[in-house]
Copies of this chain bind each other. A is one copy, B any other.
Amino acid sequence: MPVSESSSSPTHAGPARARRGSGALQKGQQTKAVIVEAALDLATQLGLEGLSIGALAELTRMSKSGVFAHFGSREELQISVIGEYFAHFEQEVFHPALREPRGLPRLGAMVSNWMRLVAQGSQAGCIFISGAVEFDDRPGPVRDALANSVQTWLAAMNRAVIQAKEEGHLRADADEHQVAFEIHGLILALHYEARFLKYPGATALAETGFNHIVARYGSNPPATELAPLSRRKVSVSPR
């Protein structure tokens, strides 16, 4: 089940087209996939605007025209990278959460997985965050693809909050936009303070912030608490 309620990811187009194609077409798709993966690596380091056909050719040991043949333009390459990151995000954050029961356990897992992705990505930034800064005042198809991906994910968060209300884990009068906004804030502060300011205690602050949200909106007593990442995967020392 993808993040979006429709049957495919919003920015993921292309590969499906040639699913039943000839061997040559399949090889072309494989090569394209290799390039997109290398491009995603590059984009998480340099940003989407740091992508260039030249750097990718060097990285994949292909000719510039070879790389260019798979992407009509730099914009098309950037949009493919956004689709690839969305699929990666879905796999790391959303799919494992679906194994948790509906309601607060699932919402908690989504938040916990999201925090882990953001805090552990010391080598690889989140292009949903860096891309927002790069493209906030640059209209066009790349910005649209990025905003579309982020909105799809935030809508999934909103649905998880609504389900937690339906399950009686959160108060019926909790505003899902407000809850999702406050969670989004914790994620962005974690990304900022862990990655840029290098605060080792940022993950614990974000976790406590989420527990505050659960306490505020939770039915009484709160049905679940976020199990500290700190004790599981991330080493955290006091700020």
**Chain B contacts for A186, CB-based, 8 A:** 182, 185
Q: How many copies does the complex hold?
A: 2
Q: Is the Cβ of A196 less than 8 Å from the Cβ of B47?
A: no
- Which of A3-11, A16-24, A208-216, A223-231 lies at the interface with chain B? A208-216
- Choose from B136, B147, B205 the contact partner of A181 (Cβ within 8 Å): B205
Task: Kindly report which residue of chain B lies nearest to residue A239, judged by CB atoms.
Answer: B177
**Which of A88-96, A124-132, A159-167 participates in binding chain B?**
A124-132
Contact between B197 and A177, CB atoms less than 8 A apart: no
A33: interface (CB < 8 Å): no
Asked if A196 and B136 sit within 8 Å, CB to CB, the answer is yes
Give CA–CA (A173, B129) in the complex, Å: 33
Alpha-carbon distance A181/B125, docked complex (angstroms): 20
Q: Complex Cα distance A209/B182, Å?
A: 7
Min Cβ gap A11→B in Å is 15
Chain B residues with CB under 8 A of A184: 189, 192-193
**Is the interface on chain A under 10, 10 to 19, 20 to 34, or 35 or more residues?**
35 or more
Closest to A238 in B: B177
Q: Inside 8 A of A147's CB, which chain B residues have their CB?
A: 196-197
Q: Does residue A195 face the partner (Cβ distance < 8 Å to B)?
A: yes
Question: Which residue of chain B has the shortest Cβ distance to A198 in the bound complex?
Answer: B147
A-B contacts, 20 listed (Cβ < 8 Å)? A129-B133, A132-B196, A133-B133, A150-B196, A151-B197, A177-B201, A177-B239, A178-B208, A178-B209, A181-B189, A181-B206, A182-B186, A184-B189, A184-B192, A185-B185, A185-B186, A185-B188, A185-B189, A212-B216, A216-B216
